[in-house]
Amino acid sequence: MPDEPVIMGVDAALSATGIGILKASGDDMEVIHTELIKTSGRQSLPKRLEKLYNSVCELIERFNPDILALEDIFYSKNVKIALSLGQARGVILLACARNKLRLQEFSAREIKQAVTGNGAASKEQVAYMVKSLLNIDDNFETYDISDSLAAALCMGYKINSPAVP
């Protein structure tokens, strides 16, 4: 891993995938880029997945991250939501493989614990701590952005201190 790794955090979903890219310099982490990749429910599933795949690949090529941090799949009682999340994750995993990008997956609990100190934190608490830890004033367009930055932060903490999840 380079001295100042670039970490791409991803909050995967079919309708809106949050991307947060950080540069880690020791304990300091700087936001390089955030983006929300939206797909339209009016498009066919293959077209939506293609757009997500192409967008993620373009960001990988543009920012050349050293690692991608992705929230692991969670249990959902809604089968349709779980299936669409799995499909979105699948194209992100494919983008990692095709671009030979290292992947690290974290549970939602691990990410929340690393960022807030509470594995059961709310999305609001995560967003607040992400802003505080990264010293940014941004009012996030959606929680998808703050969640992606939280995944990247979690990875940054793991790089700097292997004892932290």
The catalytic position among 11, 35, 110, 147 is 11
Is 29 a domain residue? yes
Cα pseudo-dihedral 44, 48, 51, 56, rounded to 10: -160
Token pair recorded at residue 150 = 């939280």
33 three-state secondary structure: strand
* Assigned domain for 84 exists: yes
Active site residue 11: yes
Q: Is 102 helix (H, G, I), strand (E, B) or coil?
A: strand
Residue in 35, 71, 110, 147 annotated catalytic: 71
| Residue 138 among the catalytic residues | no
Average pLDDT taken over every residue of the chain: 93
User: Does some domain include residue 74?
Assistant: yes
Q: Is residue 91 part of a domain?
A: yes
pLDDT band at 164 (very low <50, low <70, confident <90, very high): very low
Q: Among residues 35, 110, 144, 147, which one is catalytic?
A: 144
Within a domain: 1: no
Residue 87 vs residue 78, higher pLDDT: 87
Q: Domain for residue 165, yes or no?
A: no
Q: pTM of the predicted model, to two decimals?
A: 0.94
d(CA 111, CA 69): 10
- What local confidence, expressed as pLDDT, does residue 93 receive? 98
Query: Is there a catalytic annotation at residue 72?
Result: no
How do residues 93-125 score in pLDDT, each as one tens digit?
Answer: 999 999 999 999 999 999 999 999 999 999 999
> Would you say how long the chain is, in residues?
165
- CB-CB contact of 140 with 128 (8 Å): no
